[in-house]
Amino acid sequence: MIRPPPGKGNLSSDGYQVTGDGAGTATLNCRRCGGRGRIKSNKAIIEEFERQRKYLGGPSPVQCPNAACVNHQFSGGLAEIEARFRRFGTTDVGSMRWQCRACRKTVSVGGPTLRQRKSFRNVDVFKHLVNKGVPSRLMETLDLGPSAFYGKIDFLYRQCQLFAASREARLPYKEFEHLRLCTDRQVYLVNWPNRKIRLHILIQGIATAELKSGYVFGLTPAYDPSINLEELEAAREACGDRTRAAHLQEYARLWSRDDYTRQVAKLKKDQVELPQGSAPDSETPPAPERSDLDGNTEVADNEQLPAKGVLVHSEYTGHGHFHLLRHLLRGAKKVSFHMDDDPALMMACLGAFTDRVRDRTADILSVRILKDMKVDVRRRLLRDARKRFEAAKLSFPGLSDYGAKVAIMTEKVRDLRAESPVEHKKLQDLWIDQIFPNPAEPDKRVRFVTDLDDYDDETVARMLISASLWPIDTVFNQIRRRLVIAERGIMSHRQPLTWHINAPYNPIYLVKVLEIFRVWNNFIGPPKSKKPTPAQRLGLTKGKVRYEDIVYFDVREYLKPS
């Protein structure tokens, strides 16, 4: 982790100044550009990265039943399994038997539906989950009790992870010429666990979709189910985290009660200090100041921490997500990131891809669009854009629409660079208006975050034109429409309240259904669609995958001797 010199307000030899806010949070200030950001724990970033990529390796299907044995729990592939176990024939029902080399205990590995009573319902549950099936109605329709139904969700989650890992583990060794990745966040609501504290739990999720294929990477909620809040507090007390700066804590990535109390107090103080009538204009939101590159409110005073599992600071979720992308897509010769106007996302991406930005094999563009606008406003903006584009095209006769767009934007980039008062990196702080008609993004502005003045004007123009959040916004819209647990609340006609009738009460249910949806979106998709699936476009499968291919995916096929 970054360890500043001791004391407050020290100036280090590399041009950075370390300051603090008095609440254990250290800030690194750059004296050259004036930018600043909170110091992060490298240990916490690596922990979050390992949490998010855990599914790629996953626990070995062969585990020694002896809890005291060194081979009781481990992760590894076939080579690691054969080093720890020897093949020991099969059982009467055909399950593989293995013998532990350390303690001589035997273990059998059966099929995916071993000990299931109603395995014929697995595909039905899968289909209904991704088609807005309500759990209580599904139990009634499919004749399943609560234990059997949620057991099948556990089973489908495990099968989806195993199936996705068998394909996505190849990605780091697969070469790509140029990938354009669109990243954004989505917030999910979990109902209060008991009636004593009627405050919702909001969990931020981050996901990335590839522009051409639509393949979704990540879809990771900022939530860790491996430890509960009470266990976290006991561990923090034991290791002395309560007296350490935030970035030096052993559990820096997880939300503690101290973090929650401090955040609520800060929000109340900010609300008091906010002058009357100072709300930003909804149609032209201001750009984030460079002096606040990490600003990101995650928990408010009308929310609470979960009783099961713990929230992860979304800044660390972002860092882990981009390190996961770096790991998966290291075979890409060039990557371009199109991300929402979110300072924390930008800093997380730079943290993982700094060297590739420096080598010019990675670019970052920030996209700002007006979301949740009314249909009339969208149509008006689209009409205005069409008029401006038709007028601008007259200066470039004989060109196609795309050729005219490139020519118009090239001229605009040239003029902006000529007018810029700064000597280098002239486009980094400029939001460039896209005058071209686009029904999905009618009022789009783009900023070339990693401009170093080394690309020609036409190359920059093509990058600005292609920048979009449409692929990831489409995925988020599908989540709202297809997953009943993620749909928006119903407004009450009697009281000015929103009723989240289908929101889950256990966050782990949200995590599992989101992963099931991600695998469905990438490998199956809508049944009537004749287009190739995202996995086909990305080259991970040769054809469409069936529900049965995932539900009955058998890891024993990978354990058979070649």
pLDDT at 217 over 60: yes
492 φ, ψ (degrees, to nearest 5): -80, 140
Share of the chain above pLDDT 70, in %: 85
| Type of residue at 357 | V
* Cα separation, 179 vs 177, whole angstroms: 7
Read off the pLDDT of residues 246-287 as tens digits, 9 standing for 90 and up. 888 899 999 988 888 888 777 777 665 545 444 444 343 343
pLDDT at 17 over 50: yes
Read off the pLDDT of residues 19-53 as tens digits, 9 standing for 90 and up. 775 556 777 777 776 777 778 889 999 999 999 99
Read off the pLDDT of residues 102-135 as tens digits, 9 standing for 90 and up. 999 999 887 776 667 777 788 999 999 999 888 8
pLDDT at 325 over 90: yes
* Cα separation, 104 vs 124, whole angstroms: 41
Task: List the domain boundaries for the chain.
Answer: 10-52, 120-170+506-562
Q: What is the mean pLDDT of residues 500-509?
A: 82
- What's the predicted TM-score (pTM) here? 0.84
For position 455, what pLDDT does the model report? Answer: 92
- Dump the DSSP string for 187-237: EEEE--SSSSS--BEEEEEEEEEETTT--EEEEEESEETTS-HHHHHHHHH
Residue 192 binned pLDDT confidence (cut-offs 50, 70, 90): confident
For position 290, what pLDDT does the model report? Answer: 34
Residue 208 binned pLDDT confidence (cut-offs 50, 70, 90): very high
Residues 6+ apart with CB under 8 A from 556: 61, 96, 109, 111
What is the pLDDT of the chain when averaged over all its residues? 83
For position 1, what pLDDT does the model report? Answer: 37
Contacts of residues 484-488 at CB distance under 8 Å and 24 or more positions apart, as own/partner, are 484/132, 484/133, 484/134, 484/135, 485/188, 485/509, 485/510, 485/513, 486/188, 486/510, 486/514, 487/132
Q: Which two tokens stand for residue 59?
A: 């626990």
Is 299 or 450 the better-scoring residue by pLDDT? 450
What does the buried/exposed string (b/e) look like for 529-558 if buried means 16 or more CB atoms within 10 Å of the residue's CB? eeeebbbbbbebbeebbebeebbbbebeee
